[in-house]
Amino acid sequence: MAECVTVPEPKTAKNRMHIDIRVAGEPPWNMAERERLIRVKVAELMQAGATAVREESYDGTVGHVVMLDPEGNEFCVA
């Protein structure tokens, strides 16, 4: 099922589609565990050739990480 998520930051690259990879399932979340899952997936994607652009934090924990695939397409890990 597709879901639209509003984010506070402006767009940084032109995409045909923006993909969010959600690794923590549906809320409510244990925020420390959610952050751990995000960091594990980001590391895995970086090994596969993606680049981490920036982290967005909410209340002191990572909310999502903006990344680029090897072709420069932006996506988020949340």
**pLDDT tens per residue, range 23-72:** 988 889 899 999 999 999 999 999 999 999 999 998 899 999 999 999 88
In the chain, how many domains are there?
1
Residue 36 lies in a domain: yes
Residue 12 lies in a domain: no
Residue 6 lies in a domain: no
Question: Which of the pair, 15 or 51, is modelled with greater confidence?
Answer: 51
pTM for the whole thing?
0.77
Residue 33 lies in a domain: yes
Cα–Cα nearest to 22, from 1, 51, 50, 52: 1
Q: Which domain holds residue 33?
A: 19-77
Question: Which of the pair, 15 or 58, is modelled with greater confidence?
Answer: 58
Cα–Cα nearest to 21, from 31, 52, 59: 52
SS3 for 65?
A: strand
Residue 9 lies in a domain: no
